[in-house]
Amino acid sequence: MKERKLRIGMIGAGGISGTHCQGWTKLDDCELVAITDINPSASAHRAQEFSIPSVEASAEKLIARKDIDAVDIVVPNHYHRTYAIAAMNSGKHVLCEKPLALTCKDVLAMIAAGEKNRVKLMAAQHMRYQDDTLAMKDYITNNPPGDIYYARAWYNRRRQLPCRAGFMYMKNSGGGCCIDVGVHILDTAMYLMDNFEPVSVSGISLLKLARRSDAWSEWGTIDKQNIDVEDFAAGMVRFANGAALSLECSFMLNQKSRATHKIDLFGTEAGISWPKCEIYSSMNNRFVDTRIEYLTGYPAHHAVIRAFAEAVMGNTDVPVPPHQSLKVIAILEGLYKSQKTGKEVSLAKRDKPVRKGKHITVSPARPAAGNIALRVSPPRARQDRTRNRPSAG
């Protein structure tokens, strides 16, 4: 067969689209062929910046093109389901910015569309591909810390509320810090725990500081009159094996650090601290503390794109399975419900398909047309890792 490139269409030309464009252009066997946005000047700017040959007038027109193999969706959260399902019904693989969707019902509909059309669906959970996460996951896999019975996951900012319309208003984002940064830290924690079987959640989601007359953010001007998303959330998650996880996330919190993201895992054999990549245990009545040193690698946002492309072109399972994203969304959706009811929320039925007695699974995607092999432009020279870099927001 004649070799050809994997052809990508991008829906959305906002801030994160630039990072995605950089990731795609690093892949020698992938080609951005079209982009669209509700703001024509934004899509025209991205097209010029990254030499994208076509700017489409609408997402519908981009999805209808027969020369596109996969669609990258980088639009406000409320549009994820609509565009993803339309693209998959058109026979296209889908990479979607986090969160995959806002409700379990929406995620299940997306999974069903992927199954029906035999295409791949994946959330771009890039924190799984940070150097510290990769190092920690590899260590845990080869040196199990025993039964992980408790975890803590925090992603707290002091005064870093994103002051764009896509983040401040429920009609666009579907939530505040819980959906923006909570989804990151929760997915990463469950990935390191290797536990995607939550059974219940209780918690709070509050708008406490952003509407104050003296409220301010390092990242712009807060619309104090109209902001309606939470600036703080916290919860307790229970898992089927008896483990528990406490979650904290915030845009505005009166803490010392301007930004803190941390995961602690407590196992019967050892404790784990991320992103420090430290391990705590004991031996012969002595404390044993270990730290993993690792090398810098591929940027995380670009690495998750590369991983998706490899799965599509190699016709293998996506490395961020949508059923795992479903469990993450079940927790966040349940936390919001717990805030409204003041009660613990059972997750047993929230992440099940409507069809009684059946679970929706994703069938292997159809092979991409042509014989495509992934080649990647070589990254910059690796350097010894001596300190942690902050994660992207």
62-107 tens-digit pLDDT = 999 999 999 999 999 999 999 999 999 999 999 999 999 999 999 9
CA–CA gap between residue 98 and residue 90 (Å, rounded): 22
* Cα dihedral across residues 166, 170, 173, 177: positive or negative: positive
Q: Is position 213 within any domain?
A: yes
Q: Mean pLDDT across the stretch 240-251?
A: 98
3-state helix, strand, coil in the chain (%, to 5): 35, 25, 45
Q: Quote the number of domains for the chain.
A: 1
206, part of any domain? yes
Predicted confidence (pLDDT) per residue in 271-284, tens digit: 999 999 999 999 99
pLDDT value at position 348?
83
Residue-wise pLDDT tens digits, 310-341: 999 999 999 999 999 999 999 999 999 999 99
Q: Residue 256: inside a domain, yes or no? A: yes
Tell me whether residue 237 is in a domain.
Answer: yes
User: For position 353, what pLDDT does the model report?
Assistant: 65
- Domain for residue 196, yes or no? yes
Is 134 domain-assigned?
Answer: yes
Is residue 236 a part of any domain in this protein? yes
pLDDT at 96: 98
- Could you list the residue range(s) of the whole structural domain that residue 198 is in? 128-291
pLDDT value at 382 more than 50:
no
Between CA 184 and CA 188 the distance in angstroms is: 6
Q: Beta strand pairing status for 121-123 and 244-250?
A: unpaired
| Residue 92: strand pairing partners | none
Percent over 90 (pLDDT), the chain: 87
Average pLDDT over residues 200-225: 98
15 CB-near residues (< 8 Å, 6+ apart):
164
Let me know if residue 214 belongs to a domain. yes
Compute the distance between CA of residue 171 and CA of residue 319 in angstroms, rounded to an integer. Answer: 30
Nearest to 375 by CA among 29, 23, 6, 31: 29
Q: What CATH number does residue 153 fall under?
A: 3.30.360.10
